[in-house]
Chains A and B, each alone.
Chain A
């Protein structure tokens, strides 16, 4: 089974800061990585598909990059409402696993 490992597990950041979350796959998975945001008490929301394609309605400060085994979610000019846990997810083969999550705290 292909494992996704995110880093960091937790990050405390200030508004307007640029944030980078990484997701590493245990073997190459092309561009089959997608990113989700889950705010406390809410269900997850899709942000990025196929490593770098923004989902409809997602603010432009969210972007993704990467291919193969290394992927990045970048949040430019962080806003207070971005406090959440972020998950990467792979869809190349069964089972469709997620990274362990990265929790962002806004200072």
Chain B
């Protein structure tokens, strides 16, 4: 079955950087777009970034554009999120999510998430 497992979260100082990873298994990783979605403590869901199945295109929420970069390694079935210039507003659980693969953008499977805390 589909499994997504995020890693790389932790505590980082304001202005710092962090690299999140998501290991995928149980499906043909190179046939699906992938997303990052985050959830600040006690808050709702916020879509962060999307990368197409072949890595040809990336899309970002305005709140992270220019600071975050999504990438993927299809040979390793890995999704990456590079985060720079982190601020308190980036504190959240970051989820890796698989796209349903239909014409629309739908998150059909999610990982358990990894917590990023930006604090001095």
A residues near B, CB below 8 A? 32, 34, 36, 38, 42-46, 49-50, 55, 87, 89, 91-92, 94-101
Contacts and interface: CB of A to CB of B under 8 A. Distances in A.
Nearest to B105: A91
Contact of A44 (B45, B61, B62, B102): B45
Nearest to A56: B108
A46 B104 CA distance: 14
Given A43-B95, A43-B112, A87-B44, A36 B107 contact: yes
Contact of A100 (B44, B95, B108, B112): B44
Interface of B: 44-47, 50, 59, 61-62, 95, 100, 102, 104-113
Secondary structure at the A interface, as helix, strand, loop or mixed, is loop
Contacts of A94: 59
Given A34-B106, A43-B111, A50-B104, A98 B61 contact: no
Nearest to B112: A43
B107 A101 contact: no
Contacts of A42: 112
A101 B110 contact: no
